[in-house]
Amino acid sequence: MLKTALQPKWIAMLALALILATVFVVASAWQFGQSRTEETPSREVTEEPAPLTEVYAPQRAMTALDADRIVTFSGEFVEDSQVLISERLQDGEPGWWTVAAFAVDGAPDGEVIPVVRGWTDDVDAVDAPPAGQQLELRGRLLPPEAPVAGEREAAHVFASLSPAELINVWDLPSYSGFVVAFDVVDASGHEIGAEAETVPLEPVWVGPQPEGSSVNWLNLFYAVEWVVFAGFAFFLWWRLVKDAHEKSQEAAVLDTEWEQQWKQEYLAAVAAGQSPREAEETATAEAVRKLDEKDT
């Protein structure tokens, strides 16, 4: 079979199969790469503080690369903008988030961003944010929550933190996400947020989402399929070479049988007194007849 495979025709076919297999493997690698989609950025990205105005723009849908990032920005709380978000758990206890509009320095059109100041289980003890005071804030940027339909228990109490809903209350342009404040300091560097002992709020900590990726099973199936195609190209070449080799062997056997049968008939015809020419014709006819009978 090796002798057949080394024929120029089959070497050329092998080169063609190799080219096709290479194309199929490249297609498989591309499909495999497309089958895994990163859902969240790495911790190195999310936990490195970055200026809000540099990493996220107002009126833009928040992507996976924007969410969960720790951001820093300066500005001031807007007076009379504090609202409560109900049904928030802190160490298993139900309570409220206190949220206020924060005017961001450097925002393109003076947009505000909702800031979660802290958590409380006693709404009567919550004080108002220090409006009109220049502050530096660090916190985690999070995507907006969907509005919850239904009647609210009070005008300043909401069931979800939806900037789109708060815009109608504040009547101010807003970022589409919100920030959970970790540190709020004044111009002198004093902590005045929920971390401060004088503020009747508990700090809210929101950790980054677990890093992970999703698998697109259709792309993964295509990746495996291209590998199968690459293997089939070599299998098809091997099968064609094998068939050609078996046919050549069958032809060689038939030639040997023909030669042996013809010699027997020729010698028999000569022994019967026929001339060499007549013996050749008789041997040919008898050899064809007997081989046909053998095949049938």
For residues 98 and 184, state if they share a domain.
yes
pLDDT of residue 213: 55
Domain count, the chain: 2
- Tell whether 195 is covered by a domain: yes
Tokens 């508990």 -> residue: 202
Cα gap 124→84, rounded to integer Å? 11
Predicted pLDDT at 64: 76
φ and ψ at residue 64, rounded to 5 degrees: -65, -25
Domain that holds residue 160: 43-210
Co-location of 168 and 227 in the same domain = no
Task: Quote the strand ranges of the chain, DSSP E.
Answer: 36-38, 50-51, 70-77, 83-90, 93-104, 112-120, 135-142, 157-158, 178-186, 213-215
Same domain, 56 and 200: yes
Q: Record the pTM.
A: 0.60
Q: Tell me whether strands 70-77 and 135-142 are parallel, antiparallel or unpaired.
A: antiparallel
Can you give the pLDDT at residue 4?
72
Same domain? For 181 and 82 the reply is yes
Residues 61 and 20 grouped into a single domain = no
Which pLDDT does position 37 carry in this prediction?
60
The domain boundary residue, chosen from 187, 210, 233:
210
Q: Quick check: is 38 in a domain?
A: no
- Whether residues 186 and 265 share a domain: the answer is no
Q: Are residues 228 and 264 in the same domain?
A: yes
Q: What is the chain's pLDDT, residue by residue, as a tens digit (296 residues)? A: 777 777 888 788 888 888 888 888 888 888 777 766 655 556 667 788 999 999 999 888 888 778 889 999 999 999 999 999 999 999 999 999 999 999 999 999 999 999 999 999 998 888 889 888 999 999 999 999 998 887 777 888 999 999 999 999 999 999 999 999 999 999 888 998 887 777 889 999 988 776 555 667 777 788 888 888 888 888 888 888 888 888 888 777 777 877 887 788 777 777 777 877 877 777 787 777 776 766 66
Task: Give the tokens for residue 26.
Answer: 């490249």
Predicted pLDDT at 172: 93
Amino acid at 27: A
What's the confidence (pLDDT) of residue 214? 64
Same domain, 116 and 136: yes
Q: What is the pLDDT of residue 222?
A: 80
Q: Are residues 142 and 177 in the same domain?
A: yes
CA distance linking residue 142 with residue 70, whole number of Å: 9
Which of 177, 194, 210 corresponds to the end of one domain?
210
